C-alpha cells in the first residue's frame, strides 16, 4: 500500500472527523504556562470549536481521527468497514507533533481526538490514551484535550483517558436501542450506558467534597454525547426524552444533535434524504429550555410528537398557555420571566437588577432585548399593557417570524 504523507493524512482524517459534533471545552480546569513551564493553556469556561469566547473570538481545536480504518460496520457511518473511502492512520507521535506545532503557530487551542476501531477496542483506546499521556507528560501540554471514548474498551483504559483529558464523550448514537441494534450490530446500548455510568462515578469521585485524600481530577469538563437525528423514525419527543434521561442519570454536560447525512453506498434501511437542518436547530432550542429555563421535556413536546418547525419551542409553549400571560415584569419571579418568549437568561437577570432601583418601562425592555414586538403580547410594564393583543386569534401570525428553510 502506498505511504501517505502527513498532509494527505491530515486531509483525510480531519474530513472524517467532521461528523462528530460533540466537542466543546466549557468547564475545563484552568491551566496555563505563564510561569514559564509547559506549553498551552485552558481558559476555563471558554468553548473550543464551533463556539465563541465572551469577547467574540472564535476558538478552535485540532479535530481529527487517529484513524478512519474501522472493523465495525455501522450502516450510518462513512468509515464503516464496508465503505469504499480513502483510509489513513496517524501514529501517536504524528498527532502529538501536529498538536504542539499547530498550537505554537496559534492555529488551535486544543485537541479533539476520536478514532475508528482498529484491531480491537482496547488496542484503539490504548493508542488514544498514549496520545494524551505523551502530550501531558512528555510535552507538558496544558491546553484542552477531548477524547472520544470507546465503550467496549476495558474500564482501566477509560479511567486513564479521564485522567489525561479535560472532557470525554461516548456517543449514544441513536435515540432508540432497537435502531442501534439494527444499524450498528457491533455496538451495545447497555454497554454504552454502563460506560457512561462509570465515567460519571469517576467525575463524582474526583469532585467529592470533604474527602481528605481526593483521587486525581477526572475529566474536569465532564462528559458529553451525540445523537443522530433522522436516521430512524424516532420522534422529537423520543429524542428529548432520551436526552432528559442522559442529563439526569449521567450528569451530561451536553447532548449534541446531528442531522443524519446520507452517505455513499448506504443501505436501504436508511432514509434517502436527510432531515431539515431546522429540525436539528429546534432540538437544540428545546434542549436549552430543559437545561437553563426550567422546562420539563413533557411541557415542550409529547413523547410521540415532533417540534413545530415554523416557530421556536418557547413561543409554541406560550401560545398554548396564553392563560399565563401577560406577565407583569415588575413583580414576576425569575422562573416566570424565563418563560416569556424573547426573554433570555441574561436579559432576565439584567431586568432583575434594574428592578432594584426603578420600575421597568417599555424602553428598558427594548434596550435589554433584541426584539420588542415579539414580547409585547406577553408582558406588562409600567407604561405598557397589551390589552386584547394576548388573546388575538391571529397572534401566532403576528409574533412568528418569517423564516427561510435551512437546507
pLDDT in tens, 14-68: 888 887 876 554 444 555 555 555 555 544 333 234 433 334 445 588 999 999 9
Higher pLDDT, 42 or 254: 254
56 lies in the same domain as 165: yes
pLDDT of residue 40: 52
189 lies in the same domain as 331: no
75 lies in the same domain as 201: yes
Domain that holds residue 325: 313-399
Surface-to-core class of residue 392, CB atoms within 10 Å of its CB (0-12 exposed, 13-18 middle, 19+ buried): middle
Contact 262, 270 (CB under 8 A): yes
CATH of the domain at 201: 3.20.20
pLDDT of residue 371: 83
For residue 364, being part of any structural domain is answered with yes
Domain termination site, one of 205, 221, 237: 221
47 lies in the same domain as 186: yes
Domain termination site, one of 169, 194, 221: 221
65 lies in the same domain as 203: yes
- Least confident segment among 1-15, 74-88, 231-245, 286-300: 1-15
Higher pLDDT, 209 or 77: 77
Instruction: Specify the DSSP element, H or E, that contains 161.
Output: helix 155-164
Q: How many other β-carbons are positioned within 10 Å of the β-carbon of residue 194?
A: 14
Contact 365, 329 (CB under 8 A): yes
Quickly tell me which residue has 447532548 as its cell.
Answer: 255
For residue 264, being part of any structural domain is answered with no
Domain termination site, one of 221, 243, 260: 221
pLDDT of residue 261: 82
147 lies in the same domain as 46: yes
For residue 239, being part of any structural domain is answered with no
52 lies in the same domain as 168: yes
Bridge partners for 258 per DSSP: 228
* The pLDDT of residue 401 is above 80: no
Contact 74, 192 (CB under 8 A): no
Please, what's the b/e burial string for 21-53 (b: 16 or more CB within 10 A of its CB; e: otherwise)?
Answer: bbbbbbbbeebeeeeeebebbbbeebbbbebee
Strands 51-52 and 167-169: unpaired
For residue 228, being part of any structural domain is answered with no
For residue 124, being part of any structural domain is answered with yes
347 lies in the same domain as 210: no
Instruction: Find the mean pLDDT for residues 175-191.
Output: 93
For residue 302, being part of any structural domain is answered with no
pLDDT of residue 260: 87
Give dist(CA 68, CA 13) in Å, integer: 7
* The pLDDT of residue 211 is above 90: no
Surface-to-core class of residue 188, CB atoms within 10 Å of its CB (0-12 exposed, 13-18 middle, 19+ buried): middle
Give dist(CA 306, CA 308) in Å, integer: 6
Overall number of domains in the chain: 2
211 lies in the same domain as 336: no
Q: What are phi and psi of 18, to 5 degrees?
A: -65, -20
Contact 166, 145 (CB under 8 A): yes
For residue 304, being part of any structural domain is answered with no
For residue 273, being part of any structural domain is answered with no
pTM: 0.86
pLDDT of residue 268: 72
Q: Strand locations in 152-295, DSSP E?
A: 167-169, 223-229, 254-259
pLDDT in tens, 270-328: 887 888 989 999 999 999 999 999 999 999 999 999 999 999 999 999 999 999 999 99
Amino acid at each position: 500500500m502506498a505511504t501517505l504523507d502527513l498532509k494527505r493524512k491530515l486531509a483525510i482524517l480531519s474530513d472524517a472527523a467532521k461528523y462528530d459534533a460533540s466537542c466543546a471545552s466549557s468547564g475545563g480546569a484552568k491551566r496555563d504556562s505563564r510561569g514559564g513551564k509547559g506549553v498551552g493553556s485552558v481558559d476555563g469556561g471558554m468553548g473550543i470549536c464551533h463556539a465563541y469566547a465572551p469577547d467574540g473570538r472564535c476558538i478552535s481545536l485540532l479535530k481529527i481521527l487517529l484513524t478512519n480504518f474501522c472493523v465495525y460496520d455501522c450502516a450510518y457511518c462513512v468509515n464503516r468497514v464496508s465503505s469504499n473511502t480513502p483510509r489513513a492512520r496517524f501514529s501517536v507521535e504524528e498527532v502529538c507533533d501536529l498538536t504542539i506545532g499547530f498550537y505554537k503557530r496559534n492555529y488551535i487551542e486544543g485537541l479533539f481526538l476520536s478514532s475508528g476501531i482498529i484491531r480491537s477496542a482496547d488496542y484503539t483506546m490504548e493508542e488514544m490514551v498514549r496520545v494524551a499521556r505523551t502530550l501531558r507528560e512528555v510535552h507538558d501540554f496544558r491546553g484542552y484535550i477531548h477524547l472520544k471514548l470507546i465503550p467496549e474498551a476495558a474500564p482501566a483504559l477509560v479511567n486513564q483517558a479521564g485522567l489525561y483529558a479535560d472532557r470525554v464523550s461516548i456517543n449514544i448514537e441513536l435515540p432508540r436501542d432497537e435502531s442501534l441494534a439494527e444499524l450498528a450490530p457491533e455496538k451495545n446500548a447497555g454497554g454504552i450506558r454502563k460506560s457512561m455510568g462509570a465515567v460519571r462515578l469517576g467525575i463524582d469521585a474526583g469532585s467529592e467534597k470533604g474527602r481528605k485524600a481526593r483521587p486525581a481530577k477526572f475529566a474536569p469538563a465532564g462528559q458529553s454525547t451525540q445523537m443522530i437525528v433522522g436516521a430512524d423514525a424516532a420522534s422529537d419527543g423520543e429524542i428529548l426524552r432520551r436526552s432528559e434521561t442522559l442529563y439526569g442519570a449521567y450528569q451530561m454536560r451536553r447532548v449534541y444533535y446531528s442531522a443524519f447525512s446520507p452517505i455513499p453506498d448506504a443501505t436501504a434501511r436508511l432514509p434517502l434524504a436527510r432531515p431539515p437542518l431546522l429540525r436539528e436547530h429546534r432540538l437544540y432550542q428545546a434542549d436549552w429550555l430543559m437545561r437553563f429555563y426550567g422546562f420539563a421535556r413533557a411541557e415542550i413536546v409529547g413523547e410521540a410528537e415532533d417540534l413545530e418547525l415554523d416557530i421556536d419551542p418557547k413561543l409554541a409553549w406560550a401560545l398554548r398557555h396564553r392563560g399565563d400571560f401577560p406577565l407583569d415584569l415588575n413583580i414576576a419571579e425569575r422562573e416566570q420571566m424565563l418563560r416569556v418568549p424573547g426573554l433570555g437568561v441574561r436579559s432576565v437577570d439584567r431586568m432583575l437588577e434594574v428592578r432594584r432601583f426603578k420600575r421597568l418601562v417599555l424602553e428598558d425592555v427594548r434596550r435589554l432585548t433584541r426584539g420588542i414586538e415579539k414580547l409585547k403580547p406577553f408582558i406588562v410594564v409600567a407604561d405598557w399593557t397589551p390589552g386584547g393583543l394576548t388573546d388575538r386569534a391571529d397572534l401566532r401570525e403576528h409574533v412568528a417570524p418569517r423564516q427561510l428553510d435551512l437546507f
